[in-house]
Structure 1
Amino acid sequence: MASASEIILPIGTQKHDPAWKHCLMIRSGGRTKLKCMYCMKLFLGGGIHRIKEHLARHKGNASCCPKVPPEVQVAMQQSLDGAAVRKKKKLKLAEEVKKVNSSNNQAEGGQVDAALQMIPVPEILGDIAPVQVEVREEGMPKERGRKKRARYTSPPPPPPLPPLVTALEVGVPIKSGSGATMDRDQVYMAIGRFLYEAGVPLDAVNSVYFQPMLDAIASAGPGLEMFSYHDFRGWILKRSIEEVNNKLLRLKGLWGRTGCSILADEWTTETGKTLINFLVYCPEGTMFLKSVDASHIVTSVDTLYELLKHVVEEVGATNVVQVITNNAESHAIAGKRLTETFPTLFWTPCASRCMDAMLEDIGKLEAISEVIENAKTITGFIYNHAIVLNIMRKYTNGKDLIIPSDTRAAMNFIALKSMTSLKEELGAMVSSEEWMECPYSKKPGGIAMTNLIGSLEFWSSCAAIVRITEPIVRVLKLVDSSKRPAMGYIYVAMHQVKQAIKKELVKKRDYMTYWEIIDWRWDRQLPRPLHAAGFFLNPQFFYSIQGEVSNEVSSGMLDCIERLVPETKVQDKIQKELSLYKSAAGDLGRKMAVRARQTLLPAEWWSTYGGGCPNLMRLAVRILSQTCSARGCERIHIPFEQIHNQRMNYLEHERLCDLIFVRYNLRLQQRQLLKSKPFDPISIDNIDIVDDWIVEKSELLSGADEDPNWMILNPPLASGVLSENSDDVEVEAFIAGLDDEVIRGAGQDAEDDDDDIKEEDESRDDSTAAVRWQTEWQDGIIRNG
Structure 2
Amino acid sequence: MPFMTLENIVSKKQNLKDMFSSPEWNMSTWASRVEGKRVADLVEGRSFWTGAEMVLNAAMPLIGILNWIFEADEPLIGYIYETMDQVKETIKEEFNKKKSDYMPIWEVVDEIWNNVLHSPLHAAGYYLNPSLFYSSDFYPDFEVSSGLLSCLGQLVQSQPIKDLIIRQLEEYAHGKGSYQEGSSRTRRRNVPPAMWWSSYGENHPELQRFAVRILSQNCDGALRYVLKRTMAEKLLTNGRNPVEQQRLKYLTFVHYNLQLQQFHAGMKSGVEAEEIDPMDDWIIHEAPDVVPQNLESSWMNLDCARALSEEGCSRFAAKTETI
Question: TM tier, shorter chain?
Answer: 0.5 to 0.7
Q: TM-score, normalised by structure 1?
A: 0.27
Give how far 1:486 is off. Answer: 3.4
Q: For 1:578 and 1:661, locate their aligned partners in 2 and report how far apart those are by CA, in whole Å.
A: 39
Q: For 2:149 and 2:8, locate their aligned partners in 1 and report how far apart those are by CA, in whole Å.
A: 44
2:102 aligned with 1:491, yes or no?
Answer: no
Aligned to 1:631: 222
Q: Is the 8 A contact 1:603 1:621 kept in 2?
A: yes
Aligned to 1:524: 115
Aligned to 1:679: none
Give how far 1:541 is off. Answer: 1.7
Q: For 1:663 and 1:524, locate their aligned partners in 2 and report how far apart those are by CA, in whole Å.
A: 31
| Residue number among 185, 190, 193 corresponding to 1:602 in the alignment | 193
Q: For 2:264 and 2:206, locate their aligned partners in 1 and report how far apart those are by CA, in whole Å.
A: 39
**CA radius of gyration, larger in:** 1
Aligned to 1:458: 48
| Residue number among 551, 559, 564 corresponding to 2:155 in the alignment | 564
Please list the CA deviations of residues 143-199 of structure 1 after superposition, one character each: whole Å capped at 9, or x if unmatched: xxxxxxxxxxxxxxxxxxxxxxxxxxxxxxxxxxxxxxxxxxxxxxxxxxxxxxxxx
Counterparts in 2 of 1:198-597, with a 5 A limit? Answer: 411-427=1-17, 429-430=19-20, 435=25, 438-478=28-68, 483-505=73-95, 506-524=97-115, 528-545=119-136, 549-590=140-181, 594-597=185-188
Give how far 1:461 is off. Answer: 1.9
- Tell me the secondary structure at the aligned position of residue 597 of structure 1: helix
Instruction: Tell me the percent identity.
Output: 35
Give how far 1:538 is off. Answer: 1.3
Give how far 1:447 is off. Answer: 3.6
Please list the CA deviations of residues 335-394 of structure 1 after superposition, one character each: whole Å capped at 9, or x if unmatched: xxxxxxxxxxxxxxxxxxxxxxxxxxxxxxxxxxxxxxxxxxxxxxxxxxxxxxxxxxxx
Please list the CA deviations of residues 709-732 of structure 1 after superposition, one character each: whole Å capped at 9, or x if unmatched: xxxxxxxxxxxxxxxxxxxxxxxx
Corresponding letter in the other structure for 1:553 = V
Corresponding letter in the other structure for 1:523 = N
Q: For 1:453 and 1:528, locate their aligned partners in 2 and report how far apart those are by CA, in whole Å.
A: 43
Give how far 1:545 is off. Answer: 4.2
Aligned to 2:205: 614
Please list the CA deviations of residues 188-238 of structure 1 after superposition, one character each: whole Å capped at 9, or x if unmatched: xxxxxxxxxxxxxxxxxxxxxxxxxxxxxxxxxxxxxxxxxxxxxxxxxxx
Give how far 1:523 is off. Answer: 2.5
How many aligned positions are there? 238
Please list the CA deviations of residues 451-505 of structure 1 after superposition, one character each: whole Å capped at 9, or x if unmatched: 4334444223211211112233334445555634232122223323433444444
Corresponding letter in the other structure for 1:412 = P
Counterparts in 2 of 1:55-70, with a 5 A limit? Answer: none
Give how far 1:537 is off. Answer: 0.9
Corresponding letter in the other structure for 2:56 = V
- Tell me the secondary structure at the aligned position of residue 520 of structure 1: helix
Q: For 2:189 and 2:15, locate their aligned partners in 1 and report how far apart those are by CA, in whole Å.
A: 38
Counterparts in 2 of 1:120-159, with a 5 A limit? Answer: none
Q: Pick the structure with more strand per residue.
A: 1
Q: TM-score, normalised by structure 2?
A: 0.58
- Tell me the secondary structure at the aligned position of residue 483 of structure 1: coil
- 5+ residue gaps in structure 1? 1-410, 637-656, 669-684, 686-785
Q: For 2:137 and 2:88, locate their aligned partners in 1 and report how far apart those are by CA, in whole Å.
A: 22
CA RMSD of aligned residues (A): 4.0
- Tell me the secondary structure at the aligned position of residue 598 of structure 1: helix
